[in-house]
Structure 1
Amino acid sequence: MHSMSLKLFVDFNDVKSRHTTPGQVSFGAGESPVRLSFGDQGRRSCRIIAHASERDGGAGAGAEAGGAESQSQQNKSSFFARSQTYALMKQQMELAAKSENFEEAARLRDSLKSFEEEEPVLRLRGLMREAIANEKFEDAARYRDQIKEIAPHYLLKCSSDATTLGIRVQVRSVYIEGRSQPLRGQYFFAYRIRITNNSNRPVQLLKRHWIITNANEKSEDVWGIGVIGEQPVILPNNSFEYSSACPLTTPSGRMEGDFEMKHIDKVGSKTFNVAVAPFALSTFGDATDSI
């Protein structure tokens, strides 16, 4: 059996910074504000080399079972490597554009386009959407199962929308190339949250709880008071929005959680939890519109 792996070779020149984005955006599970900082980059070159290797299959029922499990692990490992390559290429393109090396930026843009056309997960997702549009639901289910085997997180969108007791929570995440270092296994994802009070009673957000899961299914629970240092009061038919971010050690993952709130128009009101539906953190992103 043949398997294909991708290796990325990047030539770095000296980095001479210093571009800093205005304002602040909060990074990390603790939601403390940190300013985004991007470095300008000199010319970089990037080339992708594909290596094919041949492995012998096992014999017998036990070997077949072991082979299937091994193949599944190889698929996931291969997706991880491709995701890392994709993240590196996107970062290189951004830095080339910032340093006004437009020829290199255009070359990397074309490489990314080719990569996206050949990436199995992106191709399978396109086939799944086409099958659903043509009402070929058995085919769509088969494509979905193949995606789930390779990259279960990718079935989630980079956005979610949930309503609890009239409180609507919308989330949208995006990958931040400028704060990520794929070669070191560091990936940053910013997310924007809009909380809308569609009830007829004012509420106050007291606490937050996040469950952050990386591509290796390692989860972390994070609790905190309020959000970005505030415990906002949200009146009926009003919204509160904020931005924060989450670092991951893998190119994809997911987040979900809840906000603890209470009604403030009546003394002694009990607190209640408002769900934040799961959403993906992905270097590939998706086609979902921003909030």
Structure 2
Amino acid sequence: MHSVSLKLFVEFNNIESRHTSRGRVSFGAGEFSVRLNDVNQGRRNCKLIARASERDAGAGAEAGGAESESQQNTSFFERNQMYALMKQQMELAAMSENYEEAARLRDSLKLFEEEEPVLRLRGLMREAIANERFEDAARYHNEIKEIAPHYLLKCSSDATTLGIRVQARSVYIEGRSQPLRGQYFFAYRIRITNNSNRPVQLLKRHWIVTNANEKSEDVWGIGVIGEQPVILPNNSFEYSSACPLTTPSGRMEGDYEMKHIDKVGSKTFNVAIAPFALSTLGDVTDNI
């Protein structure tokens, strides 16, 4: 178990609300800005005070000495929380020009990445893919799957329903998160492309947001970001929004209710938004 002492004060609101924070998300080779309302961050003098101790390997285990899956997940989430805290503190230390503290945290993060199983395997997998050692990459992938299968869900998704393509991409916003309080802030970018030969209008949205503890919440609303856009054939509509989460990782999925507007009395239909991850660690293959 880990114990961390830290004071941070950050505001954020619910899904589909407007914010201001810096971040970029991309679809394929393209890259798009995420613009979320103004918050004056200012410079802060912060110091991370962290104490960590590991329980005996056999503590709480069953007679066979093996941890249950839920215990393994809890341990991973705690380490993930610690990692998110350290990364945030390094950024704040650099912003306040406390470079000695930033360097100390950088070195601590490097050591953490070498010792944390999932992060270590992620680094090895990235290196294997970059060097085209795909058999090794597959082996690391399988090891990650055994330790933390939820981690392999990508931070992007792509699905097409009746010619309507929905691409999603999420990014973790460190500056708007409070890991110590179990508050993690994610921005996401959506691109909706009408590849059919009929114009459509987006009427409603339905999101299913699931945290790392498999606790789900349904979010319903009219349109997106206050609009009910009409999307003509061979055209796209894009928007950015945000979602707070109580764990360092989770996922989003859902659907849009739409209708064709070229014929009176057309029935509505649902367009799938495929699942994508919300993760403080990003994709396994990021930055390759």
TM-score bracket relative to the smaller structure: 0.7 to 0.9
Counterpart position of 2:253? 256
Counterpart position of 2:74? 77
Instruction: State how far apart, in whole Å, the 1-side matches of 2:58 and 2:150 are.
Output: 30
Matching residue's letter, 2:166: V
Matching residue's letter, 2:80: S
Counterpart position of 2:269? 272
Instruction: State how far apart, in whole Å, the 2-side matches of 1:56 and 1:126 are.
Output: 28
1:208 lines up with 2:194 in the alignment: no
Instruction: State how far apart, in whole Å, the 2-side matches of 1:38 and 1:215 are.
Output: 30
Counterpart position of 1:184? 181
Q: Tell me if the contact between 2:18 and 2:242 (Cα under 8 Å) persists in the aligned partners.
A: no
- What do you get for the CA RMSD once the two structures are aligned? 3.1
Instruction: State how far apart, in whole Å, the 1-side matches of 2:2 and 2:241 are.
Output: 33
Counterpart position of 1:281? 278
Q: 1:51 aligns with which of 11, 35, 53?
A: 53
Higher Cα Rg: structure 1 or 2? 1
Counterpart position of 1:63? 63
Instruction: State how far apart, in whole Å, the 1-side matches of 2:85 and 2:156 are.
Output: 23
Flag the 1:57–1:154 CA change in 2: closer, same or farther, 3 A: closer
Deviation track 1:140-160 (CA, whole Å, cap 9, x = no partner) reads 3x6445433432321111111
Q: Secondary structure at the match of 1:54?
A: coil
Structure 1 residues not aligned, in runs of 5+: 21-25
More RCO (CA 8 Å, sep 6+): 2
Instruction: State how far apart, in whole Å, the 1-side matches of 2:73 and 2:258 are.
Output: 39
Instruction: State how far apart, in whole Å, the 2-side matches of 1:7 and 1:269 are.
Output: 58
Flag the 1:252–1:259 CA change in 2: closer, same or farther, 3 A: same
Q: 1:158 aligns with which of 150, 155, 162?
A: 155
Instruction: State how far apart, in whole Å, the 2-side matches of 1:39 and 1:106 are.
Output: 22
Instruction: State how far apart, in whole Å, the 2-side matches of 1:259 and 1:225 are.
Output: 10
1:101 lines up with 2:103 in the alignment: no
Instruction: State how far apart, in whole Å, the 2-side matches of 1:45 and 1:147 are.
Output: 32
Instruction: State how far apart, in whole Å, the 1-side matches of 2:74 and 2:259 are.
Output: 44
Of the structure 1 ranges 243-252 and 96-105, higher mean CA displacement relative to structure 2 is found in 96-105
Q: Tell me if the contact between 1:27 and 1:244 (Cα under 8 Å) persists in the aligned partners.
A: no
Matching residue's letter, 1:221: D
Matching residue's letter, 1:227: V
Q: Tell me if the contact between 2:3 and 2:50 (Cα under 8 Å) persists in the aligned partners.
A: yes
Matching residue's letter, 1:28: N
Give the TM-score taking structure 1 as reference length. Answer: 0.79
Instruction: State how far apart, in whole Å, the 1-side matches of 2:255 and 2:199 are.
Output: 18
Flag the 1:242–1:58 CA change in 2: closer, same or farther, 3 A: closer
Deviation at 1:133, TM superposition (A): 4.8
Q: Tell me if the contact between 1:28 and 1:244 (Cα under 8 Å) persists in the aligned partners.
A: no
Deviation track 1:144-178 (CA, whole Å, cap 9, x = no partner) reads 45433432321111111111122111111111112
Matching residue's letter, 2:148: A
Aligned identity (percent) is 72
Counterpart position of 2:39? 37
Deviation at 1:94, TM superposition (A): 2.2
Deviation track 1:56-89 (CA, whole Å, cap 9, x = no partner) reads 5899xx832xx43x34333212111111111111
Deviation at 1:135, TM superposition (A): 5.0
Instruction: State how far apart, in whole Å, the 2-side matches of 1:32 and 1:57 are.
Output: 44
Deviation at 1:252, TM superposition (A): 0.5
